[in-house]
Structures are given as C-alpha cells and as structure tokens.
Amino acid sequence: MSSPFAHVQQLPRDPVLGITEAFVADSSPRKVNLGVGVYLDENGHVPLLDCVQQAEEELLRRKGPHSYVPIDGIAAFDNAVASLIFSGERPSLDERLVTVQALGGTGALKLGADFLRTTNPSARIWISDPSWENHRALFSAAGFEVETYPYYRADGGLDFAGLIQTLSSLPSGDILLLHACCHNPTGLDLEPYQWAEIQALAAERGVIPFLDAAYLGFADGLDADRVAIDTFAQAGLPFLVSFSFSKSLSLYGERVGALAVVTGGAAERGPVLSQIKRIARTTYSSPPSHGGATVATILNEPGLTALWHDELALMRDRIKAMREGLAERLRVQVPDRDFSFITRQRGMFSYSGLSKEAVEMLRSRFSIYALDSGRICVAALNKANLDIVAEAIATVLRESGEQSLVA
C-alpha cells in the first residue's frame, strides 16, 4: 500500500530556528547569536526572574493538585491581567471586557484570529511592512487574506503618511494589526498624536484595531508603554489586545499570555466570551496551569509585583545601555556614519539596515549571527561581546562599502 503521506511536501525550515541551529554547530569561541528573539542577561543566559522564582516557591509550598484550569483560564490571572493591560482605563471598560488566558502571545493572536474569522469572514487583515514574521503565517493559517500597510521607510524612518493613506482606503470590517510598542522587527514606534490619528481614522472607517502587546514595559516602562492601548481604550470602541508574558517575565516556555476583547457593550460580553471559549475548547481545551498560576501570584501580591517592576526596569535599562554601547563603538570606528538610530529604536531589536550580503559576511567571517533582514537582538549583547560585534560590523561596513545602514 502506498503511504498516504507520500505526496507531502517538505516546507522550508523556520529561518530563525535555522540560524540558531547554524550557531550551535559553529565552533568559534567568539560566536555571537544576535538572531534570537529572547532577552539574555549580562552572562548570555535567559534569566530566571526573582519574582518568578519566589512565586514558584510559593506555589510549591501550597502543594496544589494539577487539576484542569477553566477553559478561559485561571480567574485570578484573567482579572489581574485585565488590570495590567488596561490599568486606569479598566473601570470604564469592565462590563464589556473579555479577558482570557492564552498560550503565549502567539496563542492570543490565534484565538483572536479564529474569533474574528467567525465574526468577519470576508475581512482582510493588514499588517505592517515589515512585521513579526509569524503574523502573516498565523493569520493566513486562520483563513485570512493578509495585506500590508507601509511602515518602514528605506531611510530608516517611519512611513506614517503611507500608513494613513492605506488606512483611509480600508473598508469597514477589515482588521488593522498594530504593534502596541517596541515594534518587531524595526524598533520604530508611533508617537502619541499618531496613535490618536490612527484611532480616529479606524473608528471613522469601521476598521477593527488589533494591538499586539508582546513587549509592554520594554520601551519606557509599563505605564508609558500603554499609550496605544490607552488611546483605543479611551475611545471606548471595540478592539482587541494580545498580550505575552514570554519576554516581560522571561516565561518563554511556559506559554503564558492573554487575549483581551473590548466588545461593543455589556450585552456582547457573554456571547463573545462563549465563542472564544468554544475556540479554546476545540483547540487545546484549557490553558496550561503553571505559567498562569505563577503570573497570577506575582500580579496579586504587591511585594512580588513591585519586584517584577524592578526586574523589568533592569532588563529595559540593560538593553538601553547596550544600544548606547553599540552606537558609541560604531561611531568611533566608522566616523562618517550616523548610528544614532540604534539608540532611538525601542525594545529588544535593532533594524540595523545591514544588507543580506553584509549579514552573510558577519556570519561566515565573524561567526556573528543576525536575521537576513538585518534585524539584530540588542538584548543578546553584553559587555563581553559588544566590542567583538561592533568591530565585526564596522569591518563589514568598511570592506563591503555597505551604504544601506540607515541614517
């Protein structure tokens, strides 16, 4: 009998995982992996935050059984996360707000995508050009036609005019995916007045905003980074937020995040929750308990919450110091170029503007790994590798006559 899988085609491997595999196989003692999408500490390790460790110890002491958690997640988690996402705006939204625990930010996006597919089956979704590479794949897999709006200009600036022009032409019901802060991969964020303009135009067009908040707290702090969420919340119109604790609590493998849906009114809350629960039930039944319980413990105990805020600030400040360090070293080594964009970009990444050829040269000659797009993870830099990386980039720029590093 022939195999039912004989016709199955091999897909290309995930580009990010491919880079990590090549990095692991590299025997150079000076190798550096800047292709990763995780925060690494000064010693190059994924940190175990103190607040997480203390919450986990408390959970162990409680000796709770490993029961199923509700389909929409642990109630204490959902409640605390709604406050974290909406903060001061929460009371005005509460009666029409649905917040459910999800499997990381990806799981939250997927719940949101599957839900929107049932409410707006003919809608298209608009993502930034460029965007996190999984956005297109995820929304396509959910059945959406995925389009892009202009975002990054060749000169390294933000194409706000292009974004507005595209948004002005969208039909009612289409979905606009926006990065709430720390845009991945460019590190370019919108200004408060730009958020206000987008909100007003989306409302006028009847476009549904979907904010991806995977990096809240990594730009200027939790409160300041809420500007986009606050802008949409204050307008009081329906929108969605996907939230992730992978980065901000360094809980990558625990798959813990949330989807929040601001519905149109109290009467919509029950029906919307029931639909999202059906999607969760038929996809994974209920979310994993450990990450949710850990986060609920941290967010519901003021001492642990304060400790988390401090630890988040340390991560944020370390990234900023690495940005300064890289920009300063490049300024010294390549004085005819302007590297100030590195310190202006926000979050874990820098869109270096390095061409694919330059990235290839960094890899083959210096064992420094970056994404082909030129995205480097600034959070993977540390005092020990900063000189190595800066020297290598400077050499590549000088030898290749590379002109594309943005000003």
Ligand X SMILES: Cc1ncc(COP(=O)(O)O)c(C=O)c1O
Cis peptide preceding 185, ω within 30 of 0: yes
Nearer to ligand X, 184 or 250 (CB): 184
Question: Binding of ligand X at residue 287 (CB under 6 A)?
Answer: no
The stretch among 103-111, 202-210, 316-324, 367-375 that binds ligand X (CB under 6 A) is 103-111
Nearer to ligand X, 255 or 363 (CB): 255
Q: Site residues for ligand X, window 205-224 (CB under 6 A)?
A: 212, 214
Residue 109 CB, shortest distance to ligand X, in Å, is: 6
277 is catalytic: no
The stretch among 101-109, 153-161, 319-327, 364-372 that binds ligand X (CB under 6 A) is 101-109
308 is catalytic: no
132 is catalytic: yes
Contact with ligand X (CB under 6 A) among 106, 263, 297, 352: 106
Contact with ligand X (CB under 6 A) among 33, 99, 166, 184: 184
Contact with ligand X (CB under 6 A) among 130, 238, 257, 353: 257
* Catalytic-labelled residue, pool 31, 110, 126, 132: 132
- What is the 3-class SS of the chain, one letter each residue? CCCCCCCCCCCCCCHHHHHHHHHHHCCCCCCEECCCCCCCCCCCCCCCCHHHHHHHHHHHHHCCCCCCCCCCCCHHHHHHHHHHHHHHHHHHHHHHEEEEEECHHHHHHHHHHHHHHHHCCCCEEEEEECCCHHHHHHHHHCCCEEEEEECECCCCCECHHHHHHHHHCCCCCCEEEEECCCCCCCCCCCCHHHHHHHHHHHHHHCCEEEEEECCCCCCCCCCHHHHHHHHHHHHCCCEEEEEECCCCCCCHHHCCEEEEEECCCHHHHHHHHHHHHHHHHHHCCCCCHHHHHHHHHHHHCHHHHHHHHHHHHHHHHHHHHHHHHHHHHHHHHCCCCCCHHHHHCCCCEEECCCCHHHHHHHHHHHCEECCCCCEEEHHHCCCCCHHHHHHHHHHHHHHHCCCCCCC
Question: Binding of ligand X at residue 325 (CB under 6 A)?
Answer: no
Residue 232 CB, shortest distance to ligand X, in Å, is: 17
Number of residues lying near ligand X (CB under 6 A): 12
Contact with ligand X (CB under 6 A) among 128, 186, 244, 385: 244
Contact with ligand X (CB under 6 A) among 31, 36, 101, 105: 105
Nearer to ligand X, 71 or 211 (CB): 211
Q: Site residues for ligand X, window 115-154 (CB under 6 A)?
A: 132
Residue 229 CB, shortest distance to ligand X, in Å, is: 15
Question: Binding of ligand X at residue 104 (CB under 6 A)?
Answer: yes
Nearer to ligand X, 106 or 199 (CB): 106
Q: What is the largest CA-CA distance in the chain?
A: 68
Q: Site residues for ligand X, window 12-41 (CB under 6 A)?
A: 37
Active centre residues (catalytic): 132, 212, 247
The contact set with ligand X (CB under 6 A) reads 37, 104-106, 132, 179, 184, 212, 214, 244, 246, 257
